[in-house]
Structure 1
Amino acid sequence: MPVDLWSSTAFHEEARAWVQEQARPLGIRLTGAWEQPHNRPWSSAMSFESDAGRLWFKVNGPGIRFEAALVDLLGKVVPDLVPEVLAADHERAWSLTRDAGPTLRSVAPPEELWAWWEGIVVRYAEAQLVLADHRDAMLAAGVSEASPATLPAQTRALVEELAARTPDDGGLTREEVAGLEALLPEYDAWCAALAASGVPDSAQHDDLHSSNICWTGAVETARVIDWGDTSVGSPIATMLCTMNSLAFHAGCEVDDPRVLRVRDAYLEPFTAYADRAELVELVTLARRTGAVTRAMSYQHAFHGEPRSAEAEMDWPVRGWLLELHEL
Structure 2
Amino acid sequence: MLEPGGPEVWGSADWRAQAVAWLDERLAAVGIERTGEVEQPHLRPWATALKVPTSRGIVWLKAAGPGTAFEVALYELLHRVVPERVLTPIAVDASRGWIALPDGGPLLGDVARENLPEALVAVVPEYGQLQRDLAPHVDALLAVGVTDMRPAIMPTRFDEACSVVRALVDRSGSAAERHTVSRISECRDTFVSWCEQLASAPASPTLDHNDLHPWNILAPHLESDRARFYDWGDSVVAHPFGGMRITLTSLGDHLRTNASDPRITRVRDAYLEAFSDLAPRADLATAFELSCRINKVIRTLTWARAVNATGTPDEFTRAPLHTLSSLFDPPD
Question: What's the TM-score once normalised by structure 1's chain length?
Answer: 0.93
Give the Cα–Cα distance (whole angstroms) in 1 for the partners of residues 97 and 78 of structure 2: 15
Give the Cα–Cα distance (whole angstroms) in 1 for the partners of residues 33 and 182 of structure 2: 60
Amino acid of the residue matched to residue 126 of structure 1? Answer: Q
The equivalent residue for 1:298 is 303
Instruction: Indicate if the aligned counterparts of 2:26 and 2:91 stay in contact, CA closer than 8 A.
Output: yes
Please tell me whether residue 80 in structure 1 is matched to residue 84 in structure 2. yes
1:276-327 CA-partner distances (Å, limit 9, x unpaired): 1111111111111000110111223344542x2x322343122211120324
The equivalent residue for 1:123 is 126
Amino acid of the residue matched to residue 135 of structure 1? Answer: V
Give the Cα–Cα distance (whole angstroms) in 1 for the partners of residues 108 and 181 of structure 2: 39
Which of the numbers 163, 183, 190 marks the counterpart of 1:186? 190
The equivalent residue for 2:211 is 207
Amino acid of the residue matched to residue 13 of structure 2? Answer: T
The equivalent residue for 1:104 is 108
Give the Cα–Cα distance (whole angstroms) in 1 for the partners of residues 206 and 123 of structure 2: 18
1:102-125 CA-partner distances (Å, limit 9, x unpaired): 22222242x412222112111111
Matches within 5 A, 1:233-252: 233-252=238-257
The farther-off stretch of 159-168 and 131-140 is 159-168
Amino acid of the residue matched to residue 126 of structure 2? Answer: R
1:243-296 CA-partner distances (Å, limit 9, x unpaired): 100101111111211111111111112123221111111111111100011011
1:38-94 CA-partner distances (Å, limit 9, x unpaired): 110011111111111111110111111111111121111111111121122122111
Which of the numbers 176, 179, 196 marks the counterpart of 2:180? 176
Give the Cα–Cα distance (whole angstroms) in 2 for the partners of residues 277 and 269 of structure 1: 14
Counterpart of 1:30 in 2: which secondary structure? coil
Give the Cα–Cα distance (whole angstroms) in 2 for the partners of residues 199 and 168 of structure 1: 40
C-alpha root-mean-square deviation of aligned residues, in Å? 1.9
Instruction: Indicate if the aligned counterparts of 1:64 and 1:300 stay in contact, CA closer than 8 A.
Output: no
Matches within 5 A, 1:196-235: 196-217=200-221, 220-235=225-240
Instruction: Indicate if the aligned counterparts of 2:202 and 2:287 stay in contact, CA closer than 8 A.
Output: no
Counterpart of 1:64 in 2: which secondary structure? coil
Matches within 5 A, 1:1-327: 2-109=6-113, 111-169=114-172, 173-217=177-221, 220-306=225-311, 308=312, 310-326=313-329, 327=331
Counterpart of 1:295 in 2: which secondary structure? helix
Instruction: Indicate if the aligned counterparts of 2:206 and 2:238 stay in contact, CA closer than 8 A.
Output: yes
Instruction: Indicate if the aligned counterparts of 1:88 and 1:96 stay in contact, CA closer than 8 A.
Output: yes
Give the Cα–Cα distance (whole angstroms) in 2 for the partners of residues 302 and 314 of structure 1: 7
**Structure 1 residues 248 and 266: alpha-carbon distance in aligned structure 2, compared to 1, 3 A threshold:** same
Amino acid of the residue matched to residue 285 of structure 1? Answer: L
Counterpart of 2:36 in 1: which secondary structure? strand
Question: What's the TM-score once normalised by structure 2's chain length?
Answer: 0.92
Amino acid of the residue matched to residue 132 of structure 2? Answer: L
Q: How many pairs align?
A: 324
Instruction: Indicate if the aligned counterparts of 1:37 and 1:45 stay in contact, CA closer than 8 A.
Output: yes
Counterpart of 1:57 in 2: which secondary structure? strand
Q: CA deviation at 1:164?
A: 4.4
- Taking only the aligned residue pairs, the percentage that are identical comes to 35
**Which ranges in structure 1 are unaligned for 5 or more consecutive residues?**
none
1:123-177 CA-partner distances (Å, limit 9, x unpaired): 1110111111111111111111011111111102321343345444368844213
**Which ranges in structure 2 are unaligned for 5 or more consecutive residues?**
none
Give the Cα–Cα distance (whole angstroms) in 2 for the partners of residues 92 and 221 of structure 1: 31
